Structure 1
Amino acid sequence: MQRTTRFRPHKVLREDRADGTILLRSGYEIGPVADRTGDWLHQWAGAAPDRVFLAERSGAGWRELTYAAALEQVRAVAAALLARGLGPDTPIMVLSGNGVDHGLLSLAGQYAGIPVVPVAEQYSLIHGAHGRLRHAMELIEPRLVYTVDADQYAEALALDVFDGVEVVATRTGASGATPFSDLLKGDGSADVDVAFAAVTPDTVVKILMTSGSTSNPKGVMTTHRMMCANQTMIADSLPFLRDRPPVIVDWLPWNHVFGGSHNFNMMLANGGSLYIDDGKPVKGLFDRTLENLGMVAGTALFNVPVGFSMMLAALRKDEHLRRMVFSDLDMVFYAGASLPQDVWAGFESMALEARGAVPLMTSSWGLTETAPATMIQQEPTDRSGVVGVPMTGVTLKLIPDADGRCEVRAKGPNIMPGYFRDPQKTAEAFDEEGFFVTGDAMCFVSPGDENKGMRFDGRISEDFKLTSGTWVRAAQLRLDMLACLAPLAADLVITGADRDEIGVMIFPNMAELEAEGYSTDAQEGALADPHLLSDIHRRLAERARDISGSSTRVARAIALAEPPSMPEAEMTAKGNLNFRRVLTRRADLLERLYAESDPCVTRI
């Protein structure tokens, strides 16, 4: 298969210890690492002053900010922040989503050594999620908060936790908030150069709130060293990033490490251009994403699996869009979950048809605490779900179990120093050798050949035992069941802990059900259409014919009428299910799933 993207072959060093643990390292040395993100900004403002760095939609076109203009405005905003007395101990919180002003404020904080804390915009815009916002405010205690539109965020800003906090907004409305344009005027009383010189690789300049899937969100302290080393690691693995400046059209939220650290800094470190997509892969907003993709030819395409699935369907119908998306593409990069193999194959065949070659199709693995990229599939593969090999500068400690599944721990310059104001959680996060305990599990793609890479095998905390003592690997089984029930299931929860059989609680794709003519009438929280239940039963039965063991045989299913609730913490800010919370909040439906007889439950 013809490929045009330059890649670096895997080269892994392995050490087997007497206690059974395995250490994996890259066989390549890590390249030069910048000290501060501001060094990148100075580099590209000098080397490519007129190149677009950030852009956002403005009317029928784009508001574009060049590297030279970005440096000038970042220094002005940094001066205004310093003149207000802000510093390392007075964080800034950002309430709203991606935007040019948001980017300028973040970079100004990094330039001056002031931590910036972006939180999920849902915390402010969804009334029931204000508890998460309150928790973040009480933990961080910011001196200044920013939002793009003060009127839109007025309900959240009226909470008592904002008393005495300066509010800055791009659109102030009737709020009395400080206009962001005031910060752009700078302040001659502040010495920005002195502040910038005082910033070191160990300066904490970003605090990212974890999703809080099992507890209140924790604040991950992120340093310049973490972000700068991680971009060197990424470019070491993906050499085409250094061959020419990358261009992306990207919606992934900056309050999350994938969009805000991985992708944003990839553009800044390599002199690239980030066109901010104001759409996302949800009904009512995805058309905007398609419009934006049709306006700019990117060199890399980032998304979550559901986004790629929606995009593939749209690309099949639109020749102009196909031409724009594939004309200059070096890489298709998915994260968040495994990409369905049929979607993978669809992008490969479409790329071959559109340009006669396939870009690098790949994924990576990491967490908020690892900045994030720690493993990457840096050479071509023909399958989805592989997260690859250790990146330069990283050491992985693998603790195998009897089945060859490995708990993964990590050490390297991209690992966090700890959680903000939480020394106990920080201590618990590292083992006696200083490795970060990720809680994730991996398996070798080809045991005995480390260079084939590893595949993600779930969170260890999600595994459970049936009453027979049989272990159920819930993460992989969930992916299998999503494939089995596609496109009826938007998501699902695997059940069966301390029970005789595995079950699934299905969150249906309501649009698909309606399109197929199924009824969405509910009985006490569960869908009751016999035709839907019959279809689910048929699929489970067909799958069960090929399964001999109880560890993967799903015997019961119930379709839930109510979608997962963010206010009730059933869904994280990243859009992932909080499985424990779903099972707790819907305990009555869980009991119905295992009852002897229920008209809304299908059994095989």
Structure 2
Amino acid sequence: MKRTSRFQPHDVTRTQREDGTFLLTSNIPLGPVVEKTGDWLHQWADEAPDRVFIAERSGAGWREETYAAALQQVRAIGQALLARGLGPDTPILVMSGNGVDHGLLALASQYVGVPLVPVAEQYSLIHGAHGRLRHAVELVRPKMAYVIDADQYAEALALDCFDGIEIVATRPHGHAVTPFADLMKGDAGIDIDAAYAKVTPDSVVKILMTSGSTSAPKGVLTTHKMMCTNQTQFADSLPFLRETPPRVVDWLPWNHVFGGSHNFNMMLANGGSFYVDDGKPVKGLFDRTLENLSMVTGTLSFNVPVGFGMLLGALQKDETLRRRYFQDLDMIFYAGASLPQEVWSGFEQMAMEIKGEIPLMTSSWGLTETAPATMIQQEPTERSGVIGVPLAGVTLKLIPDSENRCEVRAKGPNIMPGYYENPEKTAEAFDDEGFFITGDAMAFNDFDAPNKGMRFDGRISEDFKLLTGTWVRAAALRVEILSLMAPLAAEIVITGQDKNEIGCFIFPSRDALAAEGYSDEEDNGALVCKQLLAEIHHRLNERAGRVSGSSTRVSRALVLAEPPSLADGEMTAKGNLNYRKVQTRRADLLERLYSDDAGVARL
């Protein structure tokens, strides 16, 4: 198969130290890094003033803002912020999702040195999640909060934690809030050039909230240096970013580091165009994504695996859309989990039929604390699940815990300086050599050939022991069982800590159950359809014949009737499960799983 050749081959060095740890570094030199994100905005406003920078749907078409217009508006908004007395110690809370005004406000705050705190819109729009919103407000104590629509967010804005905070809305609807248009008027009394000159690479750009999947959300201090370095690292690894201005039609949320820092800044750094996709890969909203793609397609395609799975099905049915999608496509980039191999192969086959070559299909690895990318698969590979090698300027410390599995720690200019007003957690996050303790595990694809890259091998904290003392690598096992139960399972929780056997909770896909003809009879929090339990038993039994050892054998399963609760902390706004919370909140069902109840599928 012919594959795109515009990539930088892997080139790493692995060194083993006397203590048994390994250091893994890239031999690719780090290119020039701009001082702050405003430098990119100035560059492209000068070199390509009429090129679309950011756009969102407006009626039957798009509201498009060029680089020249964006710079003018960013400077005006920056003046308005400074005129209100905002500065490094008075953050701005953003409660709404992606949009042009959100993007302009973010860049304006960066331009004048005011930290932005984007939080998941679900925290405001779901009544039961208001506790998460209150936590963020009380942690960062913002002086201003932005929403797109004052009516839509009225319930959240009525919380007492917003007393004394200026509320700004694009659509005020008569509420006693500041219209966003007022910020756009600027303030001639503010010397915006002098203010911009005071911003440094170490100025805090954002305070990004962690997911809270293992503890209360923490505020990650994100600087210009972190974000600007990360984009140089990307372009050093992916030269095609500098050859042709990139374009995306993207829905990934900006309160998350992948959508808001990785994707957004990739367009800004390389003079690209960001079209905000107001659809999502969920029932009822995916049709909007397809409508948007029928109007504009990207040179890069970012998504989570479930999104790519839905897109593949749509492309198979629509030849016109299929040709548009692949026409200018340089890269397919998945994140959040491994892309199912059948989806991977489906995109490869389509690309060959349309273009006669396959775009770079890849992923990377990182965390909110790493801006985000620290590793990337920057050369073509033939299978999903590979996350590649360190980016330029990054050093990984690999601490072996078995023959080919390592705990991963990272050091580099893209790593955070710490957590907002939390010196204790900051100290815990770094080891005595200054490496950030990621908590993730990796394995080499070929230990003797480190340039073949590494693959993710779970969270160290998710591992547990059975009563026998046997270690269970829950993350890797979860991925396998989730694939085994497809399409019936939407999510899996592996159980068994301090038990004799491994079990699992299954969050079902209701649509898949209906399509497969299974009923969904509920019994005290579980689904007990005999045909469904028999099918699960059959699949687990077949797998048992292929695996050996108590560390991998799943002996029992229970299908849950209630979906994971965001309000009760079982699920984060990013869609990640808090596995411990699921098990503690449903302790009665965990006890039932290890009983002789007839509603449990067991071997």
Q: TM-score, normalised by structure 1?
A: 0.99
The offset of 1:320, in angstroms, is: 1.4
Amino acid at match of 1:331: M
- SS state of the match for residue 53, structure 2? strand
CA deviations on 1:313-339 (whole Å, 9 max, x unpaired) are 111111111111111100000001111
Amino acid at match of 1:79: Q
Task: Give the corresponding residue for 2:374.
Answer: 374
Question: 1:111, 1:165 → 2: CA distance?
Answer: 22
Task: Give the corresponding residue for 1:212.
Answer: 212
What's the % identity of the aligned pairs? 73
Question: 1:403, 1:174 → 2: CA distance?
Answer: 65
- SS state of the match for residue 231, structure 1? helix
Question: 2:214, 2:440 → 1: CA distance?
Answer: 15
Task: Give the corresponding residue for 1:599.
Answer: 598
Task: Give the corresponding residue for 1:296.
Answer: 296
1:71-90 pair list within 5 angstroms: 71-90=71-90
Amino acid at match of 2:337: A
CA deviations on 1:12-51 (whole Å, 9 max, x unpaired) are 0121100001001101100000000000000000000000
CA deviations on 1:90-137 (whole Å, 9 max, x unpaired) are 100000000000000000000000000000000000000000000000
Task: Give the corresponding residue for 1:406.
Answer: 406
- SS state of the match for residue 236, structure 2? helix
Contact 1:295 1:324 in 2 (8 A): no
Task: Give the corresponding residue for 1:179.
Answer: 179
1:122 aligns with 2:111: no
Question: 1:5, 1:68 → 2: CA distance?
Answer: 33
Amino acid at match of 1:25: T
CA deviations on 1:573-598 (whole Å, 9 max, x unpaired) are 10111111101101111111100x21
1:255-270 pair list within 5 angstroms: 255-270=255-270
Question: 1:307, 1:491 → 2: CA distance?
Answer: 15
Task: Give the corresponding residue for 2:439.
Answer: 439
Contact 1:305 1:335 in 2 (8 A): yes
Task: Give the corresponding residue for 2:359.
Answer: 359
Task: Give the corresponding residue for 1:275.
Answer: 275
- SS state of the match for residue 294, structure 1? helix
- SS state of the match for residue 39, structure 2? helix
Question: 1:500, 1:357 → 2: CA distance?
Answer: 51
The offset of 1:141, in angstroms, is: 0.2
CA deviations on 1:162-206 (whole Å, 9 max, x unpaired) are 001000000001321100000000011111111100000000011
Task: Give the corresponding residue for 2:527.
Answer: 527
The offset of 1:4, in angstroms, is: 2.8
Task: Give the corresponding residue for 2:54.
Answer: 54
Structure 2: unaligned runs, 5 residues or longer: none
Question: 1:490, 1:5 → 2: CA distance?
Answer: 36
Contact 1:3 1:359 in 2 (8 A): yes
Task: Give the corresponding residue for 1:337.
Answer: 337
CA deviations on 1:488-537 (whole Å, 9 max, x unpaired) are 00001001111111111000000111122211120000001101111111
1:170-569 pair list within 5 angstroms: 170-569=170-569
1:65-104 pair list within 5 angstroms: 65-104=65-104
The offset of 1:5, in angstroms, is: 4.4
CA deviations on 1:343-389 (whole Å, 9 max, x unpaired) are 11111111111211100000000000000000000000011111000
Question: 2:20, 2:4 → 1: CA distance?
Answer: 41
Question: 1:520, 1:192 → 2: CA distance?
Answer: 61
Amino acid at match of 2:587: A
- SS state of the match for residue 323, structure 1? helix
The offset of 1:599, in angstroms, is: 2.0
Contact 1:5 1:331 in 2 (8 A): no
Question: 1:60, 1:535 → 2: CA distance?
Answer: 47
Structural RMSD (CA): 0.7
CA deviations on 1:467-508 (whole Å, 9 max, x unpaired) are 121111111111101110000000010011111111110000
Amino acid at match of 1:231: Q
Amino acid at match of 2:292: N
Question: 1:27, 1:516 → 2: CA distance?
Answer: 51
Question: 2:511, 2:423 → 1: CA distance?
Answer: 46
- SS state of the match for residue 388, structure 2? strand
Question: 1:571, 1:286 → 2: CA distance?
Answer: 22
The offset of 1:402, in angstroms, is: 2.8
Question: 1:402, 1:482 → 2: CA distance?
Answer: 24
Amino acid at match of 1:559: V
CA deviations on 1:229-269 (whole Å, 9 max, x unpaired) are 00000111111000100000000000000000000000000
Question: 2:549, 2:452 → 1: CA distance?
Answer: 28
CA deviations on 1:542-561 (whole Å, 9 max, x unpaired) are 11111111111111011000
Number of aligned positions between the proteins = 603
1:143 aligns with 2:143: yes
Question: 2:218, 2:402 → 1: CA distance?
Answer: 33
Amino acid at match of 2:599: C
Question: 1:325, 1:69 → 2: CA distance?
Answer: 28
Question: 2:324, 2:531 → 1: CA distance?
Answer: 42
Question: 2:31, 2:323 → 1: CA distance?
Answer: 35
Question: 2:5, 2:275 → 1: CA distance?
Answer: 22
Task: Give the corresponding residue for 1:108.
Answer: 108
Question: 2:42, 2:445 → 1: CA distance?
Answer: 42
Question: 2:70, 2:112 → 1: CA distance?
Answer: 15
The offset of 1:404, in angstroms, is: 2.3
Question: 1:128, 1:151 → 2: CA distance?
Answer: 18
Contact 1:5 1:330 in 2 (8 A): no
- SS state of the match for residue 316, structure 1? helix
Question: 1:320, 1:472 → 2: CA distance?
Answer: 47
Amino acid at match of 1:558: L
Contact 1:248 1:275 in 2 (8 A): yes
Contact 1:5 1:240 in 2 (8 A): no
Structure 1: unaligned runs, 5 residues or longer: none
Amino acid at match of 1:168: V
- SS state of the match for residue 230, structure 1? helix
The offset of 1:280, in angstroms, is: 0.7
- SS state of the match for residue 493, structure 2? strand
The offset of 1:297, in angstroms, is: 2.2
The offset of 1:8, in angstroms, is: 0.7
- SS state of the match for residue 295, structure 2? coil
- SS state of the match for residue 317, structure 2? coil
Question: 2:478, 2:353 → 1: CA distance?
Answer: 33
